[in-house]
């Protein structure tokens, strides 16, 4: 992860509490996907937790991080329209490649979340390719 903040494409201020919880859970899953959490990622995770307002939800999310347990990402059942879902997935791709590595487990997570959000395999393939393109530009 870079030392700079990731500028989310997803409009956090416009998300309701359920959307924020789902998004934060998905971001935590992405960071945990490669099995390695570095110091910059810990700092980023602290920032992710600030988008969730309910204390019991913050505690739930902290436990995933503390025990390095992969959260389940349930289908968001109407939480996001297609445009918002795309921004969520783009943010996840950008986070996956922020450390200039797109690990197989991270790619798998992008594919899983993409399918969960209702995107076709072809659409997700394009986003994965975009992730590799971003990574090569950053190198």
Q: Is pLDDT at 105 greater than 80 in this prediction?
A: yes
Q: How far is CA 94 from the centre of its chain?
A: 8
Site of tokens 């922020």? 98
Predicted local confidence at residue 98, as pLDDT: 78
Measure the CA–CA gap between 12 and 62, rounded to whole angstroms: 19
Q: Tell me what the mean pLDDT of segment 89-94 comes to.
A: 90
pTM, rounded to two decimals = 0.88
Q: Tell me what the mean pLDDT of segment 9-26 comes to.
A: 92
Q: Is pLDDT at 1 greater than 50 in this prediction?
A: no
What region does 70 belong to: left with phi over 0, alpha with psi -120 to 50, or beta? beta
Judge whether 25 and 17 are in contact, CB under 8 Å.
no
Predicted local confidence at residue 5, as pLDDT: 46
Measure the CA–CA gap between 24 and 50, rounded to whole angstroms: 9
Measure the CA–CA gap between 10 and 12, rounded to whole angstroms: 6
Q: Is pLDDT at 138 greater than 90 in this prediction?
A: no
pLDDT in tens, 34-83: 887 777 677 778 888 889 989 999 999 999 988 989 999 999 888 999 99
Predicted local confidence at residue 21, as pLDDT: 94
CATH class of this structure's domain 12-138: mainly alpha
Q: What is the overall mean pLDDT for the chain?
A: 87
Predicted local confidence at residue 7, as pLDDT: 73
Predicted local confidence at residue 41, as pLDDT: 74
Q: What percent of the chain has pLDDT over 90?
A: 55
* Residue 121 in tokens: 């395999």
pLDDT in tens, 112-135: 999 999 999 999 999 999 999 988
Judge whether 62 and 83 are in contact, CB under 8 Å.
no
């Amino acid at each position: 992860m870079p030392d700079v903040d990731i500028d989310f494409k997803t409009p956090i201020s416009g998300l309701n509490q359920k959307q924020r919880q789902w998004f934060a859970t998905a971001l935590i899953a992405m960071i945990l996907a490669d099995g390695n959490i570095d110091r910059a990622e810990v700092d980023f995770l602290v920032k992710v937790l600030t988008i969730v307002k309910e204390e019991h939800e913050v505690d739930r999310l902290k436990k995933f991080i503390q025990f390095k347990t992969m959260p389940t990402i349930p289908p968001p059942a109407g939480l996001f329209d297609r445009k918002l879902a795309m921004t969520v997935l783009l943010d996840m791709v950008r986070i996956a490649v922020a450390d200039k590595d797109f690990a197989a487990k991270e790619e798998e997570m992008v594919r899983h979340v993409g399918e969960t959000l209702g995107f076709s395999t072809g659409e997700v393939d394009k986003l994965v390719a975009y992730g590799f393109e971003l990574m090569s530009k950053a190198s």
